[in-house]
Structure 1
Amino acid sequence: MNGRNRKDLQPGLTVDIILKADQRTGKLTRGVVKDILTNSSTHPHGIKVRLTDGQVGRVQVIHTHEK
């Protein structure tokens, strides 16, 4: 799942985000969502979130742990 729709996100999900500093390289950072910062329902570059460790970035991948 990509991170462009706010309805797909909720606190506690594991996601890969791209930090502002890593936008040129495309390096992803994995973490757990603490807060959803984007108010609009969609965003073309990904919904902005704050992870539990305090890092802020735009969601690129939502990890689902389905079996």
Structure 2
Amino acid sequence: MKRSSTYHSYLSEKVCQDGRQRSGIFPGATVKIVRKMDQGTGTTTEGRVKEILTRSSFHPHGIKVRLEDGSVGRVCEVL
């Protein structure tokens, strides 16, 4: 199901307020992410960052990371 850009604006404002700046995220940091399959519900997964996948310094929906357990998603909160 295709979502409108309004949905993505809502997601970035309501779910991913932190975690949009790459400078605040580093390997070993504890974060909450929203995985691609959970974007519709906004369910978060907590873990430690293994690898930062987003190359740019900022992303409006959150920096994409891989957690130590292998989960990939966008950071919505740095703990």
What is the TM-score of this pair, normalised by structure 2? 0.78
Write 1 or 2 for the structure with the bigger share of helix. Answer: 2
Aligned match for 1:41, one of 32, 47, 57: 57
Write 1 or 2 for the structure with the bigger share of strand. Answer: 1
Over the aligned positions, Cα root-mean-square deviation in angstroms equals: 0.9
The number of equivalent residue pairs is: 63
Structure 2 unmatched ranges of 5 or more = 1-16
Provide the rounded CA distance (Å) in 1 between the counterparts of 2:44 and 2:63: 14
Structure 1 unmatched ranges of 5 or more = none
Aligned structure 1 segments of 4 or more residues deviating by more than 3 angstroms: none
Aligned match for 1:29, one of 36, 42, 45: 45
Whose RCO is larger (CA < 8 A, sep 6+)?
A: 1
Q: 1:50 aligns to what?
A: 66
Q: Percent identity?
A: 59
Provide the rounded CA distance (Å) in 2 between the counterparts of 1:5 and 1:13: 14
Q: 1:12 aligns to what?
A: 28
